[in-house]
Amino acid sequence: MSDVRLIVAGAGGRMGRTLVKAIAETKGAVLAGAIDAPASPLVGRDTGELSGIGANGIAVTGDLAALAGQADGVIDFTIPAASVALAGQAAAAGLFHVVGTTGFSAADEQAIAAAATSIPIVKSGNMSLGVNLLAALAKRVAATLDEEFDIEILEMHHNKKIDAPSGTALLLGEAAAQGRGVDLAARSDRGRDGHTGARRPGDIGFASLRGGTVVGEHWAIFAGPAERIELVHKAEDRMIFARGAVKAALWAKGRAPGLYSMMDVLGLKDF
């Protein structure tokens, strides 16, 4: 079978650089192009050199359209506005789209879902095996316990992260809400400050910490009367997300159009 040809979007970023490395290490995947913000000072730079693996002859560019003909799909860890635009461009060019970006608005989510009617899009707030397994466990625990157990999602990330709660926190909250059979939007408590009053039974709370170089740590806490269950995941290296994204890309090639998640890729939907 021929190699899956991939374009990395956000190639100059923390995840983009890690992806270039992960693709180089993956049999059956090849880096076909790279893009970053059109005004980025990194446009023209060699992506292998940026990633610390040595020159690979693939330069950072600023335009997906010029590369589309030489690729099967795009792996995208950028910012919401860029991911929405890329979903439209990928749909127009018939490329699959793997979206790792987080921090989307409801309108962004709708635009991506619309693009997924014509191409396969795999989108997840966390591409690692461990977090997706944790989400499956959180769903089960939430389904087992009643509202006597308060659900709190806590996350900590590095001091450069621009969105909160993290995509992973929302993914875990959604899993817990599904397990409990409630609508997350209606039961979320995001950010307490001042005289908040007592916790509303049945809410799913979110709290975010930022500092240092923490790659990503998440807790799903089930706090009940006189006992507490904590499900925890600690990412130690961005390679876990990059390897997951490359796995999603290999899975997406040739798939029917649709909006998929890492649960689909990892076969955890019915866990």
Ligand X SMILES: O=C(O)C1=N[C@H](C(=O)O)C[C@H](O)C1
Ligand Y SMILES: NC(=O)C1=CN([C@@H]2O[C@H](COP(=O)(O)OP(=O)(O)OC[C@H]3O[C@@H](n4cnc5c(N)ncnc54)[C@H](OP(=O)(O)O)[C@@H]3O)[C@@H](O)[C@H]2O)C=CC1
Q: How far is the CB of 83 from ligand Y (least distance, A)?
A: 8
Is 165 among the residues that bind ligand Y (CB under 6 A)? no
Number of amino acids touching ligand X (CB under 6 A): 9
Q: How far apart are CA 75 and CA 70, in angstroms?
A: 14
> Alpha-carbon distance 244 to 22, whole Å?
9
Binding residue (CB under 6 A) for ligand Y from 10, 33, 48, 165? 10
Residue 83 CA to residue 35 CA, distance in Å, equals 12
**Quick one: what does residue 96 bind among ligand X, ligand Y, none, with the CB cut-off 5 to 8 Å set by partner type?**
none
DSSP H helical segments within 116-238, as ranges?
A: 129-144, 167-180, 184-187
H-helix or E-strand spanning residue 61: strand 60-61
Quote the tokens at residue 38. 């059109």
Among residues 192, 185, 189, which one has the least CA distance to residue 200? 189
Question: x/- string (CB under 6 A) for ligand X, residues 25-64?
Answer: ----------------------------------------
Q: What is d(CA 145, CA 152) in angstroms, rounded to the nearest whole number? A: 14
Binding track, positions 187-206, relative to ligand Y; x by CB under 6 A: --------------------
Are 200 and 163 a contacting pair, CB within 8 Å?
no
How far apart are the C-alpha atoms of 152 and 222, rounded to whole Å?
7
In the complex, the smallest distance separating the C-beta of residue 84 from ligand X, rounded to whole angstroms, is: 17
* Cβ nearer to ligand Y, comparing 14 with 140: 14
**Residues 97-116, mask of contacts with ligand X (x by CB under 6 A):** -----x--------------
* Residue 125 near ligand Y by CB under 6 A: yes
13 is in an annotated binding site: yes
How far is the C-alpha of 250 from the C-alpha of 227, rounded, in Å?
A: 43
In the complex with ligand X, the residue whose CB is nearer, 119 or 177, is 177
Which is nearer to ligand Y, 146 or 237 (by Cβ)?
237
Nearest residue to 266 via CA among 176, 188, 171 = 171
The reply to whether 241 sits near ligand Y by the rule CB under 6 A is yes
Q: Which is nearer to ligand Y, 104 or 222 (CB)?
A: 104
- Token pair for residue 29? 């995947």
**Which residues make up the interface to ligand Y (CB under 6 A)?**
9-10, 12-16, 35-37, 40, 77-79, 82, 100-103, 124-127, 167, 241
| Binding-site sequence positions for NAD(+) | 10-15, 36, 100-102, 124-127
